[in-house]
Chain A
Amino acid sequence: MKKIVALILVACMIIGAFAGCGKGNGGNGTDANGRPKDHVTLKMYFHGSNVSDDKKVLEEVNKYLDEKLNVTLEPIWGTWGDFDNNAVIAINGNDDVDIYFTCSWSADEYNLFAKRGAWVRLDNPENNLLEKYGKEVWNLLPEVLTTGAKIEGSDGFGVYAVPGYKDIACQLCWDINVPLLKKYGYTVDDIKNTDYYGLGEILAKVKAGEGDNFYPLLIEGAVAERMVDNSIIVAGDSGSTNLLSYYINPKKTSDLGAYGNKILNKFATDEYKKYVTKTREYFLKGYIDPGLANAEQANNLRSEKQLTGQYLIGTQSYSLGYETQASAERGFEVAFVGTTPAYVDTTSSQGAMMAISTASKNPERAMMFLNLLNTDPYLFTLLDFGVEGVHYTKNSIGEVEFIENERAKYSPWTNGMGNVTLLPPQKGQGADFWTKFKAYYGAADKIPILGFTFNSDSVSNELAAVANAAAEYALTLSVGAVDPETVLPAFLKKLDDNGMQKIVDEANKQLETFLKNK
């Protein structure tokens, strides 16, 4: 035993000797044209890529970057399948990656990793990266994004990543199978003019007509609950099952909602009880597929039924132009009916971001690069769409038409790349697409607590326990698979026993401080 302890100690010493190496200084010194002197390679980790051959693109990109910034870009094309695991290991293992994709929903979550010291604070008075090298991009971004990016991190309250300009607002919608609705003599307006509690008649008629094996109501339990109750996700809430609710005003989202500026135990409100009771009724009448109550089955089941039109009303989060695309993909007419106007909350404002890693040896150059990428249409289009004439061509009105063969080998994820409004419109979008885009998202209201993120560090033990309790009940309740009369009280008791109130109190305390400082 002693020998083993000694061995471990020796091992630690060897490792220690390898640790800690100095940082380079890539920002200083420029030549006559304002081009930095030392040549630098930047590694950038992307999400959602589908890239098997990037030679031609990188040749062009690096020629251009060399001229502008004396930089060579080395992208790491993370895919939907591997990014979550690998990026987190790379960050914790101190890989020499300069820039990471981050956001409010990937595993290298923006707030969490800012707190843990993974990202360089960009407006840190010590380095002032944003002020020195990032002014252009910062001025170009809408205010909701720059507000949403300011968070509490390892180096104080500030900006830890450059937000991407994409569909920044959130709007939850009923997703409607229009041909089926018409078949039973209803129109989309009939749904617009009622609410969840008034759908019973339509659902009954369709269920009777389509038979036993047809389930008209295809809901994602948690989403439907938010739509019906006008509650939203509190950023920083449990990542598996949401436990907290903040109620917004469904008429005007910048005004206060039913409970004011207060965070609530999601499951203890009257609204929640009313929702689950109605849903139970719908479930018992056979409007909801029982498979939706099984956690690992629900997602696949919903996507599949949605794609094949085996539903009447579903739940969907909307982005501009989605009706046309969804109708084309599914092969029947789809309509979306929003339950609130589009709004911007913390989660949606942090939908896609680029953060500079604290492991980067050249944070200055990385900032210069991010600034250029998000402001230069040539560079952005090149990196996202590929080389004109090779990967795509432009038609008479300036829309992009892809050359399928080449594009199949080079398709990065557009929304994960940054400022998508720099792109030319794609075929079918129309020449004025980006004007419409900016108008739609520019009109979206901010919710009153935009920028607030709950920091659960001080209650992480309670959060772990409560999230496990919620895993036991929340999904089945929200799709009506169990009887709320008996189950809801048991659930609430279990939440209390495991410290739910402590979490809610802590969240409200933090919210008060946040509002005071605002």
Chain B
Amino acid sequence: MKAITKRSRLGKPALVSEISFYIILGIFCAACIIPFIFVIIISFSSEESIRSIGYSFAPVKWSTSAYEYVFQLGDQLWRSYFNSFFVTIVGTVTSLLMTIMYAYALFRKDFKYRNFFTFFAFFTTLFGGGLVPTYMVCKQLLYLSNNYAALIVPALISPFNIIIMRTFFISSIPNELIEAASIDGSGEYRTLFQIIIPIAKPGIATVGLLTALSYWNEWFLAMLYIRDAKYIPLQYLLMKMQNQADFLFKNASVIGVEASKMLKDLPSASLRMALVVFIVVPIAFAYPFFQRYIISGLTIGSVKG
């Protein structure tokens, strides 16, 4: 024990390990960001360059045609940006509220139906009725069609997030705290909102981040339930352009003249990359908002050794 104390006081191994930490993670993060840089480079490459030398870090010629192509969408682009923000914000807040309440009840050991409801939620991650029955229930029973609700409601609950949230509660909230609050005569809702939530902030921020990202990335719901251009979110708007290009490439020989005419004007390869940029940039700006809660939790947690 003594020997160990001595060595750690010297500080040398700690320094070495810290430097190696920086390097290991640094390499991994470089691997994460390089493909994104690649994406940006391709999005500014000219189509001729891609056609002649393939996808390359050093294109022969630069071009902004992919971006011009997207900007042709005009008002629809900004409308879709708005829709995406609206759906993400409303969806995330509602979803978080529901998830927190459900997960909190599951976290409470003294809740009589705890196991039942845990299973009740988890069962649905494995078994579902499939696409078509769900589509029919949503559209014909719940009228989720051509409205914002159609983009928000079907994605409100993720059993995975409920379980994760419950796990965060278990690992960060001591049981004595609940007992103490209950002895104080604090109501269940008051306990949850005034005592538990402030403590569980990092966990909530994490689940919030994951929910927001999934709402932001969501295009499948729009494809199923939205026909009216007014409600189309950004992801689907861009996805549609991409699918169109893919379909035309695949079926060019069947469709013939009209397909090759469209393909000629389509900066297909650079377009795909530009679309990634359009999607990532806004969320990259929103990221620090969530991260503040997560990393601030760390700052307190990490004690100098």
**A/B touching: CB–CB < 8 A:** yes
Cα separation A220 to B141 with both chains bound (whole Å): 47
Cβ–Cβ contact B258 & A415, under 8 A: yes
- Measured CB to CB, the closest approach of chain A to B41, in angstroms, equals 18
| Interface 1/0 per residue, A1-42 and B, CB below 8 Å | 001100000000001001000000000000000000000000
Question: Is residue B28 within 8 Å, beta carbon to beta carbon, of the partner chain?
Answer: no
Q: Which among A18, A48, A308, A319 is the interface contact of B141 at CB below 8 angstroms? A: A18
User: CB within 8 Å of A: which of B131-153?
Assistant: 131-132, 135-137, 139-141
Cβ–Cβ contact B223 & A86, under 8 A: yes
Contacts of A268 in B (CB 8 A): none
User: CB within 8 Å of A: which of B227-278?
Assistant: 227, 229, 239-258, 260-261, 263-264, 268-269
Identify whether the interface residues of B are mostly helix, strand, loop, or mixed. helix
Cα separation A95 to B254 with both chains bound (whole Å): 28
Q: Which among A304, A317, A414 is the interface contact of B258 at CB below 8 angstroms? A: A414
Cβ–Cβ contact A317 & B256, under 8 A: yes
Count CB-based A-B contacts (< 8 Å). Answer: 100
Cβ–Cβ contact B256 & A81, under 8 A: no
Contacts of B242 in A (CB 8 A): 81
Question: Is residue A127 within 8 Å, beta carbon to beta carbon, of the partner chain?
Answer: no
Question: Is residue A299 within 8 Å, beta carbon to beta carbon, of the partner chain?
Answer: yes
Cα separation A330 to B263 with both chains bound (whole Å): 11
Question: Is residue A390 within 8 Å, beta carbon to beta carbon, of the partner chain?
Answer: no
Cα separation A3 to B246 with both chains bound (whole Å): 47
Q: Which among A82, A105, A308, A322 is the interface contact of B254 at CB below 8 angstroms? A: A105
Contacts of B253 in A (CB 8 A): 220, 223, 316-317
- Measured CB to CB, the closest approach of chain A to B96, in angstroms, equals 26
Cβ–Cβ contact A52 & B244, under 8 A: no
Question: Is residue A84 within 8 Å, beta carbon to beta carbon, of the partner chain?
Answer: yes
Cβ–Cβ contact B229 & A52, under 8 A: yes
Question: Is residue A461 within 8 Å, beta carbon to beta carbon, of the partner chain?
Answer: no
Cα separation A414 to B261 with both chains bound (whole Å): 13
Chain B residue at minimal CB-CB distance from A166: B256
Chain A residue at minimal CB-CB distance from B224: A89
Contacts of A468 in B (CB 8 A): none
Question: Is residue A258 within 8 Å, beta carbon to beta carbon, of the partner chain?
Answer: no
Q: Which among A89, A310, A322 is the interface contact of B256 at CB below 8 angstroms? A: A322
Cβ–Cβ contact B256 & A167, under 8 A: yes
Question: Is residue B5 within 8 Å, beta carbon to beta carbon, of the partner chain?
Answer: no
Contacts of B38 in A (CB 8 A): none
Question: Is residue A269 within 8 Å, beta carbon to beta carbon, of the partner chain?
Answer: no
- Measured CB to CB, the closest approach of chain B to A100, in angstroms, equals 15
Chain B residue at minimal CB-CB distance from A86: B223
Identify whether the interface residues of A are mostly helix, strand, loop, or mixed. helix
Question: Is residue B52 within 8 Å, beta carbon to beta carbon, of the partner chain?
Answer: yes
Cβ–Cβ contact A322 & B132, under 8 A: no
Question: Is residue A413 within 8 Å, beta carbon to beta carbon, of the partner chain?
Answer: yes
- Measured CB to CB, the closest approach of chain B to A225, in angstroms, equals 14
Question: Is residue A300 within 8 Å, beta carbon to beta carbon, of the partner chain?
Answer: yes
Cβ–Cβ contact A308 & B48, under 8 A: yes
Most A CB atoms within 10 A — which of B248, B249, B255?
B255
Most B CB atoms within 10 A — which of A86, A93, A322?
A93
Q: Which among A84, A89, A326 is the interface contact of B132 at CB below 8 angstroms? A: A89
Question: Is residue B189 within 8 Å, beta carbon to beta carbon, of the partner chain?
Answer: no
Question: Is residue A427 within 8 Å, beta carbon to beta carbon, of the partner chain?
Answer: no
User: CB within 8 Å of A: which of B69-111?
Assistant: 76
Cα separation A471 to B243 with both chains bound (whole Å): 23
Cβ–Cβ contact A15 & B137, under 8 A: yes
Residues of A in contact, count (CB < 8 Å): 44
- Measured CB to CB, the closest approach of chain A to B98, in angstroms, equals 19
| Interface 1/0 per residue, A155-179 and B, CB below 8 Å | 0000000000001000000000000
Question: Is residue B120 within 8 Å, beta carbon to beta carbon, of the partner chain?
Answer: yes
Q: Which among A52, A81, A84 is the interface contact of B239 at CB below 8 angstroms? A: A81
**Known contacts A4-B123, A80-B248, A326-B260; is A48 also within 8 Å of B255 by CB?**
yes
Contacts of B246 in A (CB 8 A): 81
- Measured CB to CB, the closest approach of chain A to B72, in angstroms, equals 9
- Measured CB to CB, the closest approach of chain B to A358, in angstroms, equals 16
Cα separation A4 to B115 with both chains bound (whole Å): 13
Chain A residue at minimal CB-CB distance from B47: A304
| Interface 1/0 per residue, A93-126 and B, CB below 8 Å | 1110000000001000000000000000000000
Cβ–Cβ contact A308 & B51, under 8 A: yes
Contacts of A167 in B (CB 8 A): 256
Cβ–Cβ contact B224 & A300, under 8 A: no
Cα separation A307 to B248 with both chains bound (whole Å): 14
Q: Which among B52, B119, B261 is the interface contact of A329 at CB below 8 angstroms? A: B261
Cβ–Cβ contact A86 & B244, under 8 A: no
Contacts of A330 in B (CB 8 A): 264
- Measured CB to CB, the closest approach of chain A to B221, in angstroms, equals 12
Q: Which among A80, A325, A414 is the interface contact of B244 at CB below 8 angstroms? A: A80
**Known contacts A48-B255, A304-B51, A317-B254; is A79 also within 8 Å of B120 by CB?**
no
Most A CB atoms within 10 A — which of B123, B141, B243, B245?
B243
Contacts of B240 in A (CB 8 A): 79, 81-82
**Known contacts A79-B240, A93-B136; is A3 also within 8 Å of B52 by CB?**
no
Contacts of A15 in B (CB 8 A): 137, 141
Contacts of B247 in A (CB 8 A): 80-81, 84
Cβ–Cβ contact A307 & B224, under 8 A: no
Question: Is residue B285 within 8 Å, beta carbon to beta carbon, of the partner chain?
Answer: no
Cα separation A89 to B130 with both chains bound (whole Å): 11
Question: Is residue A303 within 8 Å, beta carbon to beta carbon, of the partner chain?
Answer: yes
User: CB within 8 Å of B: which of A305-340?
Assistant: 305, 307-308, 310, 316-317, 319, 321-322, 325-326, 329-330
Most B CB atoms within 10 A — which of A48, A95, A325?
A48
Cβ–Cβ contact A307 & B264, under 8 A: yes
User: CB within 8 Å of A: which of B174-196?
Assistant: none
Contacts of B22 in A (CB 8 A): none
Chain B residue at minimal CB-CB distance from A18: B141
- Measured CB to CB, the closest approach of chain B to A117, in angstroms, equals 15
- Measured CB to CB, the closest approach of chain A to B247, in angstroms, equals 4
**Known contacts A81-B247, A316-B253; is A92 also within 8 Å of B140 by CB?**
no
Cα separation A317 to B251 with both chains bound (whole Å): 11
Cα separation A474 to B208 with both chains bound (whole Å): 48
- Measured CB to CB, the closest approach of chain A to B278, in angstroms, equals 17
Cβ–Cβ contact B116 & A3, under 8 A: yes
Cα separation A415 to B135 with both chains bound (whole Å): 30
Contacts of A317 in B (CB 8 A): 253-254, 256
Chain B residue at minimal CB-CB distance from A408: B72
Contacts of A413 in B (CB 8 A): 258
Cβ–Cβ contact A93 & B139, under 8 A: yes
Question: Is residue A85 within 8 Å, beta carbon to beta carbon, of the partner chain?
Answer: yes
Cβ–Cβ contact B257 & A300, under 8 A: no
**Known contacts A52-B229, A81-B240, A303-B249; is A329 also within 8 Å of B264 by CB?**
yes
- A-B pairs, top 3 by smallest CB distance, nearest first, are A81-B243, A81-B244, A80-B247
17 additional contacts, CB 8 Å, given A81-B247, A89-B135, A300-B269? A4-B120, A79-B240, A81-B241, A82-B240, A82-B243, A89-B132, A89-B224, A92-B132, A93-B136, A300-B249, A303-B252, A304-B51, A310-B51, A325-B261, A329-B261, A414-B258, A415-B255
Q: Can you list 21 residue pairs at the A/B interface with Cβ under 8 Å?
A: A3-B116, A4-B119, A15-B141, A18-B140, A52-B76, A79-B240, A80-B243, A80-B244, A81-B243, A89-B132, A94-B136, A299-B249, A304-B51, A305-B51, A307-B51, A317-B254, A321-B257, A322-B256, A325-B261, A330-B264, A413-B258
